[in-house]
Structure 1
């Protein structure tokens, strides 16, 4: 059986979609305990993402030099992302959980569905005092959702409070008004796949 991998080819993405994907990967890798020594370093990755984002804005005037810089910075960022992807695949050794935590899209195999990390995580106040509404975009192939709550800023040692749900939306109740809470959403799938959203935070009212 072929070992799971990630897709490091971004040529088919539009400029805007490539920027979104690159930023998601950059955010996902920040503080990612699965990959403690990224190569290239995250400073290099961040610099390449920033250069491309700035060039994308400048190229809106369609000036010849601006467009040339945008194209050049995109090629440079794609190269950085490919090198980082090789590092990730080497370290993960086929672990789907580790691969998905990187933010890279998984390579597809016929007949198999790999979970993508939950997108558009949000936390809003509910209709009643002391309630918060957690929601992510529904994940294709997801079997269940775990809306995890922390009462302190999360660290690698955080013990999350688990709240299992069959839907991508969950309402926390009986929270302390005026207190800040942190939430992330874990999505489970077949073959013990487990992927996480980004962490969001809000003060309960």
Structure 2
């Protein structure tokens, strides 16, 4: 494994911090093309997150039984989160972009930046080859990763139906597009809470 990696021990995290880490990681790992998990492994991870969330809620107005149940659920989630994080480290091979796409904070992220405002502008231009466009996003040095969405016009209203590309660089080339078509592009910065505020739609004709 390279010098870049994520934490695999979360014992010192508060209950809320642990849930935040788990929810962001699960959201980013579900359908992530960079990672392969055992059948049912991510579902079990999500079940442990839900179980701890429910146990924590019951504990707020409960007694000793509820406290014990919450502590057991926390221990289980800690174990599962650690296992998932180890898989991420192993399969990412030290690649910073792949590590960041997991949603886990990397060891280099000493400061916490929950979310960033949406970019106010995007620079779009044709690439060197046919079917390529270059997306230039204003630099945000504290972001974990740049997230780019693109779709042919007329673009779907649901952003989940757009193509999504993650990059650790502010300037990214998108290839394989159909020349002569108009492409819609939106982009944003990924914060430590997993939220991305996307820019307005910018368009370009593919050459």
Within-5 A mapping of 1:161-180 = none
Question: What is residue 96 of structure 1 aligned with on the other side?
Answer: 96
1:185 and 2:188 aligned: yes
Question: What is residue 85 of structure 2 aligned with on the other side?
Answer: 85
Q: CA 1:105–1:61 in structure 2 vs 1: closer, same or farther (change >3 Å)?
A: same
Q: CA 1:63–1:146 in structure 2 vs 1: closer, same or farther (change >3 Å)?
A: closer
Question: What is residue 135 of structure 2 aligned with on the other side?
Answer: none
CA RMSD of aligned residues (A): 4.2
CA contact under 8 A between 2:146 and 2:187: conserved in structure 1?
no
Question: What is residue 141 of structure 1 aligned with on the other side?
Answer: 142
Matched residues in 1 for 2:56 and 2:185: separation? 33
Within-5 A mapping of 1:2-21 = 3-21=3-21
Q: CA 1:2–1:87 in structure 2 vs 1: closer, same or farther (change >3 Å)?
A: closer
Question: What is residue 27 of structure 2 aligned with on the other side?
Answer: 27
CA contact under 8 A between 1:39 and 1:83: conserved in structure 2?
no
Question: What is residue 163 of structure 2 aligned with on the other side?
Answer: 158
Q: RCO higher in 1 or 2 (8 Å CA, sep ≥ 6)? A: 2
TM-score (norm 1): 0.60
Secondary structure of the equivalent of 2:94?
coil
TM-score (norm 2): 0.59
Offset at residue 37 of structure 1 (A): 3.0
Q: Which runs of 5+ in 1 are unaligned?
A: 124-137, 166-180, 188-194
Question: What is residue 132 of structure 1 aligned with on the other side?
Answer: none
1:68 and 2:71 aligned: no
Offset at residue 36 of structure 1 (A): 3.5
CA contact under 8 A between 2:148 and 2:185: conserved in structure 1?
no
CA contact under 8 A between 2:116 and 2:189: conserved in structure 1?
no
Offset at residue 68 of structure 1 (A): 0.6
CA contact under 8 A between 1:23 and 1:49: conserved in structure 2?
yes
Offset at residue 21 of structure 1 (A): 1.5
